[in-house]
Structure 1
Amino acid sequence: MPCFRKKTSVLMPSIWMSLLCILMVGCKSTGSYKPSYTEAVDSHQQVNSQCPSGNRRSYAVSERNSKAIGASFEAYARGSIDEAINKLLALGEVERQYDKAYINRMLGHFYAEKGDFIKGVAYLEKVVDANVLGGQDHAATQTLLANLYLVNGDYLGAIRQYKAQMQFSCHQSETAYSGIAFAYLSLADLDKMYSNTITAFRYSSRPDKDEYISRFEVLKKQSDNEALENLFFTIYPKYKGIQEKSQKKIAKSDADEKPVPPMLLVRIEPFYPLTAARDEIEGCVEVSFSVNISGKPINIQVIESKPEGVFDFEAVRAVAKWHYRPQYKSGVPVQADGLTEKLCFKLSISKKHVPESS
């Protein structure tokens, strides 16, 4: 049964669709396909046999799995991504490593197309870790994974993956270096953004690249960081879209996700004031404070103390020595405000904390 390749969504590389069609016994093209930023646009490059990618061959998947893959692709071609995913998940545990990687790659694409970038990344990471697909397929998966890292805001992961892709394919590309530049821009490292953008230009085939290099160099000398950023997005508007998508995702996550509160790791008991111990005075002090991103209590204030003023100093001094695991939100440490603690001074349990008189 022939399959018909139609104009598909931006996350389905044409080379991958061709492989799917081969599995389904022939393919008739009914339209051109334009890759987007989420694809490995350099996947059609000449493979160097001396590179890891050049020594990696592709294999046919098993007959049982190829039928499920074909049915999944047919569902996808009808626009039913959920059905396409379910047909692959119904295979259960796939023993053959190559087949498993091939199927995980499909699932990664499908989930990414649905907008579930977290699951998309999870499946594509399995593919990259398995490291068994053919050279072009593996390199294309690395590039897509790097792009999804950008969308998810994992900029260090994106940088690592772009570099790994270039090392695997032995091919330096504008696509990879511009992605690395955008990642560094997002990390507010404008020096590395600048150097990687210049490198991206040098691997570019665009006729105006020398003009852009000159403009970048002038702005860098002028330390005009805002103009540098604007020029970058003028040249690579696709990354502006990724930035906006990532910011919306982070904002939604921040709005939906409850923070993980700070956890006390080190508690130092307060010393018992010598005069209070001598006069056998007991009491309590309630304090409020914040915990900064390093886990240190700050802004310590006495809310209430009984008797007033007797134990305040030692209570505040003790809390200042405590150490917390900081509060986390969306995987990032954030300051926690409005914490309160009540410290009570009892002679029966505090004798060892009474300083000796001289």
Structure 2
Amino acid sequence: MLRLIILLFTLGLISCQSTTTRITPSLDKLSEVVGREIAKAYDIFEQGSPKEAINYVKNIQPQKRYDKAYLNLLIGKLLLTQSALENAIPYLEKSFDARILEHSLHQVLIKDLTKLHLYLGHEKKADIYAKHYQDFNGKSFNEIKRELSKLSRKEVLQKLTSKNQVSNFLFRGNNRTVIKRVSPKLPHRVHTWAGPIEGYVVIQFDISSKGIPFNLQVIKSFPTQIYDKAALEAIGQWRYVVGNLEKGQTIRLDFTFEKSK
């Protein structure tokens, strides 16, 4: 029996059975119900009620480990906008300790923790996170310290507590929060006498202010046209949190088959 694993690069992983298209619980993507709740919290935040938004997020019930890590990161970000640096750290560190966020979010998290601990004078803690940060971008602890030394404490604080960091976190390119995902329906011709056909599809699209993908087009696929239609139809049904119009988003869907044990 074969199990289809669809790797959604930059947007997480969804798996389904090759004979049905049933979506199994994802370990590294936000649950739909949690995504909707986060969208409500962001609306509250944008309306000028950050404390109410923080309390709202704290009351969201995570469906899985990824949700909890994501929510902790968001709470930390929201607390930073209120200059509650010491209060933000435990939430950010819990998110880091989960080790489940995707590469780009994890990098942002490590960078924030490094700068926070440096700003607060926690050099030993900062050094620990800086070593993780170095794994991502090659910058050493001393290089990060030199970068920060070029800024005044006021400038560092302004960067750490900027309101824009919340929207940047939620809407930064392909990390914009997905609140509805649909798995592709597989075409009947994915099997041949030699076995299942593996391949991929790269799709480019825009996201409207209402969170709806449009202008979808396949920019590359292999084998040509085997999975194109299924991928386009699936991504066209995805929904994102409301936000600014975003153009030129790109997703690569890899279709690989593994033998089930």
Per the normalisation by structure 2, the TM-score is: 0.46
Larger Rg: 1
With CA pairs under 8 Å and 6+ residues apart, which has the higher RCO, 1 or 2?
2
Which structure carries more strand by proportion?
2
Per the normalisation by structure 1, the TM-score is: 0.34
